[in-house]
Chains A and B, each alone.
Chain A
Amino acid sequence: MAGVSNPIEVHGLVKTFGRTRALDGLDLELVPGEVHGFLGPNGAGKSTTIRVLLGLLGSDAGTATVFGLDPWRDATEIHRRLAYVPGDVSLWPNLSGGETIDLLLRMRGIDPRGTRRDELLQRFELDPTKKGRAYSKGNRQKVALVAAFAAPVDLLVLDEPTSGLDPLMEQVFNECVAEHGAAGTTVLLSSHILSEVERLADRVTIIRGGRTVESGTLDELRHLRRNRVRAEVAGKVPDLSRLEGVHDLDVDGRVVSASVEPAGLPGLLAALTAAGVLSLTSTPPTLEELFLDAYRSTS
């Protein structure tokens, strides 16, 4: 590691539970100020990675640093600079939501009185006087989110944070992440909800089976991928099957659709022009498709 350390650096991380290899050489790198999507199916190792980064779990091999520090040794120092929202929030049954929020803030060394907690309670429409046991899953999530968003931090670690939130509250969540992002906070956003990540993330890392499958900006990942092209031609559909870089060809009358690698586009367009193209649409892959593609290529 040279120069200023990144908020999060993970290289070749291995974590085993008995015979299960939860993390198998995982890599993850966050640069300062970015919102980083951390994607993977259930059981891919997202939460395990986060727990290692928080110093709750030890690792068996590889390195992991947060702010250039060792999360195992320097946990409290690191935690002063971050806020964490677990995927499954469990609250103290006999503490009210307001008490829990203030306690979590104070345990991070922050005086709740100087924070945005009241504003956030309103935005998330959360009643802080209810006891922990009385909250629904979504409302438990909101308690943790308000505590995390209430004060400025250097790093937000959000583990599937919107599970249980309705779409309106998801919108509030998105705004909060954007506000923190604009203020220079680095955000690690673990999720399997692709649209949420697509909207918020600058870069994504896709993992599966404890390994990193893909990592980069959405543009970079798209660059490597095929566009879906659909065209209608005036005359007879020419034989496109021999063209380089054209896949999944489907001809239905005068309508043709195919997945096209960037390198195959010139040849395809030339053939379509010659056939008298009437309409043409080209769609970049959604994150969903990147995701499925990444899974397919490693399974």
Chain B
Amino acid sequence: MNLMGTGLLLRFALRRDRVLVSAWVLVLLATVAASAAAAGPLYATEAERVAAAEALDASPAIVALYGPILDTTSLGELSMAKMTVLYAVFVAFMSVVLVRRHTRVEEETGRAELVGATAVGADAPTAAAVLEAALASLLLGVLAAVADIACGLPVVGSLLFGASWTGIGLVGAGIALLAAQLSSSARSVGFLASATIGALYLLRVVGDTTSASWLSWLTPFGWGTQLSAWSQPRVWLLLGYLLLAGALAVGALALRRRRDLGSGVLPDRPGPAVGSPRLRDAAALVVRQQATALVGWTVGIAVIGALMGSIVPSIGDLLDTDRTRAIVEAMGGVGRLQDSLVFAIASVVAVVITFFGIGAVTRAAGEEHDGRTETVLATATSRRLLLLAVGGSAVLGSTWLLLVAGVATALGRGDGFGAVGASLVQAPAVWLVLALSLLLLSVRSRWAVAGWALLALFVTVGQVGPGVGLPDWVLGLSPFHHVPRYPAEVFTWPPEVVMTAVSAVALLAAWTRYRSRDIG
């Protein structure tokens, strides 16, 4: 191992990622704190906790998504149910993003060569990337534990829960590091790592919902639950994270030594020698660039939608105790409750779909930064067509995904197609966020990344705001706040029309600016 210069590279990486890491950690912390703070008053007595936990455990769909609750009397386990398994995915993804960014992306752009030619050790860039992800995971774990303790949850449980997050972060880093050795394409590395995480999550889903429960012990996403952080913990299970992450890292390092800088272990497949006549203009180019991602998103959204939809019919049974029945009746009966859930699902999925759209916009900013926009605009391609292609791929792609989500939810629910409407009702809010992102891109290509910050802000306000009692005008900053709560409430046109109109104005402003600014 030649690690000379690792410290320098680590400091450099931390400096480059200071906004990214801080934002990621803060958003996750905010959700932890909000969940922990909300659970106490909601489930004040043990009887209430047991009722809620048993209700959750009774629904295979919820167990599939969040994993089971082992100790139904534990407040900590109940309040952290979502965090322990589902949100752990976002922790793993943080490490994937960081490691990929400092390994394969650097190699693909040739910057790794620049660094490699200086007096840093051959293994230093890899070590720095892993160390950075490990530090971020550790920071996130510690702060998550602190947040839980501050919100009144038991100390030991909080620490173990935090440790499980750090653990899954380390595993994510290991997965990304291994993937980075395999393919020479940074995009493929992202795809490989995401698919691996998806597969490990699915393994847990099968283990938790079928009799083959041993499967949950094979995947790190099952360990969060099996750790049993809040009562009779299996502390030794934390070693699992360390061993798995270590094994992945060692494997990756061995592969790293056997390949050249810039190449991958998997061979690069040759492409066609001649371009298809369909690949003929900027619009076709954008479609080609987005096609793979859109197919992946379509499959992913369809699975999530179907899974969420299948929860809906069981929601009435879940809460079928004497006391809850009274509440449900007061709220308008089981049908109304199901409608509320359909709305809730649609609003969450809409936010996820917005990620796709913003990704399409920021990709265009990357194209401009790398000089490819210049190449395109030096042909007979007009700026109008290019902006239309970029905006169209973001807006139409997202709208298509909303439709997929709605249909999948409806099929999962198996009771008519009301969910399709619920999903499409979200469209104006998604459009508005995307129009604002396009405006940022049009003002200055470097500003496009602020689209992520905008979305993070809206999500945080929407997720955390109601819990901590933020004033209405703050909640109203997020377009998603204004979407009619259809089908739980009657559909109203005004907010939809207003948001669509504001989107149109933003797009018009974007076009006016884009046609008159310097490119590059």
Contacts and interface: CB of A to CB of B under 8 A. Distances in A.
Interface of A: 51, 54-58, 75-76, 79-80, 84, 86, 88-104, 106-109, 112, 128-131, 133-134, 144, 157
B15 interface: no
A56 B375 contact: no
A95 B118 CA distance: 31
Given A58-B516, A90-B371, A94-B185, A128 B379 contact: no
A233 to B, nearest CB: 54
A76 B271 contact: no
B185 A76 contact: no
Interface in B375-421: 375-383
A106 B281 contact: yes
Given A92-B372, A131-B268, A133-B184, A103 B519 contact: no
- Most chain B CB neighbours (cut-off 10 Å) among A108, A112, A134: A134
Contacts of A134: 184, 268
Interface stretch (B282-290, B349-357, B430-438, B458-466): B282-290
Nearest to B278: A106
B378 A76 contact: no
A89 B371 CA distance: 8
A32 to B, nearest CB: 21
Contacts of B212: none
B74 to A, nearest CB: 49
Contacts of B185: 93-94, 131, 133
B111 interface: no
B518 A88 contact: no
Contacts of A103: 275, 279-280, 285
Given A98-B275, A101-B275, A76 B380 contact: yes
B1 interface: no
B271 A107 contact: no
A54 B275 CA distance: 25
Interface of B: 108, 184-187, 268-277, 279-282, 285, 288-289, 370-372, 374-383, 516-520
B519 A57 contact: yes
Contacts of B371: 86, 88-90
A101 B518 CA distance: 26
Given A57-B518, A79-B378, A96-B272, 12 more contacts: A58-B518, A79-B380, A89-B371, A90-B372, A93-B108, A94-B187, A98-B275, A99-B271, A102-B275, A107-B281, A131-B270, A133-B184
Contact of B274 (A75, A86, A112): A112
A75 B279 contact: no
A157 B375 CA distance: 12
Contacts of A130: 268, 270-271
Contacts of A88: 371
A56 B377 contact: yes
A86 B270 contact: no
Contact of A56 (B187, B279, B282, B519): B519
Contacts of A76: 380-382
B273 A96 contact: yes
Contact of A104 (B273, B277, B379): B379
